[in-house]
Amino acid sequence: AQSVTQPDIHITVSEGASLELRCNYSYGATPYLFWYVQSPGQGLQLLLKYFSGDTLVQGIKGFEAEFKRSQSSFNLRKPSVHWSDAAEYFCAVGTGNSYNTDKLIFGTGTRLQVFP
Amino acid sequence: NAGVTQTPKFQVLKTGQSMTLQCAQDMNHNSMYWYRQDPGMGLRLIYYSASEGTTDKGEVPNGYNVSRLNKREFSLRLESAAPSQTSVYFCASSEVAAAEQFFGPGTRLTVL
């Protein structure tokens, strides 16, 4: 069965430091992968997505993620974190075997805390 | 363009009461979804509707029913609320199933 694992429940970084949030997936075919961000009390906003092609994808707010098939990973990175990046981050995989897949499977999330 | 809207924002129910959570989108999307979010468990799919006139169960459908009223609206009903249904409920929509999903602001439901 498809699954998504985010091994880090909570990460704390200093403002200006680099960030990497880990995501591993289990899926038999080429996955469709997403990173979402949720600010406190808000809904989820898409940061970036991978469907095919270049394995390094750029997103909004200066985030990027790299798809590594050999490691079944889709880690999210940012070179310099801002205090406003404090939020919860969710990795998700699209199920099915084509662009018209049924639904997303979400990881349990990583809460990012940023210290000044 | 409001995106995805949900009502109400907050609700407190007593065990056994019923209620309907409303969701509407103005992006002309075909697919709509209902999720629940619980601490440490991420988002879990309750029901989804790949297109107008169709609905399917997700991961945690027990205790819920849905209605795809038209292309814009997708409601979630709790017939007899239980404390285990205390959660934050999110509605989402997408242009095609599993493309980028756009989320509403959520409904925080407490069942006493």
A106 touches chain B (CB under 8 A): yes
CB contact under 8 A, A90 and B103: no
Tell me the chain B residues in contact with residue A87 when contact means C-beta distances shorter than 8 Å: none
Q: What is the pLDDT of residue B1?
A: 72
- For chain B, the maximum distance between any two Cα atoms, rounded to a whole number of angstroms, is 37
Tell me the chain A residues in contact with residue B33 when contact means C-beta distances shorter than 8 Å: 103
Could you list the beta-strand ranges (E) of A1-63: 3-5, 10-14, 19-21, 24-26, 32-38, 44-50, 56-58
SS3 B50: coil
Structure-token pair, residue A107: 């990881």
Cα–Cα dist A29/A83, whole Å: 37
- Residue in B42, B96, B97 nearest the CB of A106: B42
- Residue in A32, A41, A43 nearest the CB of B98: A32
- pLDDT single digits (tens) B41-79: 889 999 999 888 889 999 899 999 999 989 999 999 999
Average pLDDT over chain B reads 93
Q: How many CB pairs under 8 A join A and B?
A: 60
Rg, C-alpha atoms of chain B: 13
Cα–Cα dist A92/A24, whole Å: 10
A76 neighbors A65 (Cβ within 8 angstroms) = yes
A110-115 and A10-14 strand pairing: parallel
Structure-token pair, residue B78: 């709790």
CB contact under 8 A, A101 and B105: no
B97 neighbors B50 (Cβ within 8 angstroms) = yes
- pLDDT single digits (tens) A88-104: 999 999 875 544 556 78
Average pLDDT in the A39-53 region? 90
CB contact under 8 A, B103 and A96: no
Give the lowest-confidence range in A11-25, A69-83, B14-28, B46-60.
B46-60
CB contact under 8 A, A34 and B100: yes
Q: What is the pLDDT of residue B97?
A: 57
Structure-token pair, residue A103: 């639904």
Q: What angle do CA B110, A41, A104 make, to 5 degrees?
A: 85
Q: Which residues between 41 and 100 in chain B have a beta carbon less than 8 angstroms from any beta carbon of chain A?
A: 41-45, 48, 50, 56, 58, 90, 92, 96-100
Give yes or no for residue A71 having a pLDDT over 80. Answer: yes
Cα–Cα dist A83/A13, whole Å: 10
Residue of chain B nearest A9, judged by CA positions: B40
Half-sphere CA count of B62, side-chain side, radius 13 A: 2
CB contact under 8 A, B97 and A100: yes
Cα–Cα dist B15/B82, whole Å: 5
